[in-house]
Amino acid sequence: MLRNFSGCGLATTALAALCATACAADSIDNYALPAKTAFPAAMPRYANAWFYIDASLAPSFEAAVRLVTGGLRQVMHLPEYYPPFDNPEGCDFEVRVEHLQPWIDPVHRSLQHAHAFHMRYYYTQLVAAGLEKVVFRNRTFYRFAASVHYEVGHANPNHADVEVCPICGRTGEYAGVDGNLVERVHDPLGLELLLRGTIRGQTVRAEDWERRPLGSVGTLADKFPCQHRNVSGTDGRPEHREDRNRGARTEAVNGSAARKTGLSARAEIPDMPRQEKDGA
């Protein structure tokens, strides 16, 4: 499992790899992330999460997608929504969890709201462009992308932005962050929840009778035992996404084309029983 966080949590892209055996450290260049032109024009900004699945774990690309999306649906209890629906942004389908971490503050009564975890999956266009499979270190991986963020709940009239919210706003460690609130705050918060099951370091719990932790990609370790390594060399800057939005093929996860940032990590996941490889 590859993770990408800067020191203050301002990651802009994360990579997750499911392997059948241990993977040696790799440069981010080996992942050859596609340009934004590979995605639907309706996608407003470059995907901030990528899933790489060792081809030995799935008999096909479709099975690899099901392995991850089905696994996350199960461990995080993610409701799935398929188009047509409002504002799909070109995705194949999306998951949304509403009513999380209600912010109640009498001083800001009109701005009060609960939060939503929202992730859109993208893979059909990658297949059409022949970009759904990549080989490095003599190993084949299937891959697909997602756009994930954490925001004001969709039913709230203040959706999606409340600048002063201590949970999803430009506050706390994000107080000095300039630029678009969605990309600079909502997106990294979404990645934090996806990868860690937390928001600003606090465990997020479902607002149901069980009050269970929402979970994370890490919960898949129950099905794919793994050791985690944080990806190094991040600075939280979004230039890489802007470059890909213009169609450039820079291969740095953090840093502009002129100042690529070296990236390395290890993923160690023991061999899986053959009956588990299809996922659900």
What pLDDT, in 10s, does the model give residues 24-80?
555 566 678 899 999 999 999 999 888 888 898 899 999 999 999 999 999 999 999
Q: Which two tokens stand for residue 253?
A: 């996860």
Cβ neighbours for 115, distance < 8 A, ≥ 6 positions apart: 100, 101, 102, 103, 150, 151, 152, 153, 167, 168, 199
> If you count DSSP H runs as helices and E runs as strands, how many of each does the chain have, helices first?
5, 11
Q: Is 246 helix (H, G, I), strand (E, B) or coil?
A: coil
The pLDDT score that the predictor gives to residue 219 is 80
Task: Give the residue ranges of the chain where pLDDT is below 70.
Answer: 1-13, 15, 17-30, 221-280
- Decide: residue 110, CB within 10 A, 0-12 exposed, 13-18 middle, 19+ buried: exposed
Per-residue pLDDT, 19: 64
Q: CA torsion sign, 215 to 268 to 200 to 10?
A: negative
pLDDT at residue 52, as a whole number: 86
Q: What pLDDT is attached to residue 27? A: 59
Report pTM.
0.78
> What pLDDT is stored for residue 57 in this prediction?
87
| Token pair 């756009």 in the structure block, residue | 147
Calculated CA dihedral for residues 33, 215, 272, 63, nearest 10 degrees: -50
| Residues in contact with 130: Cβ distance below 8 Å, sequence separation at least 6, in sequence order | none
Share above pLDDT 90 across residues of the chain, in percent, rounded to a whole number: 53
Cis peptide before 84 (omega within 30 of 0): yes
pLDDT at 20: 63
What is residue 209's predicted lDDT score, i.e. its pLDDT? 87
- 4 token code pair: 């990408």
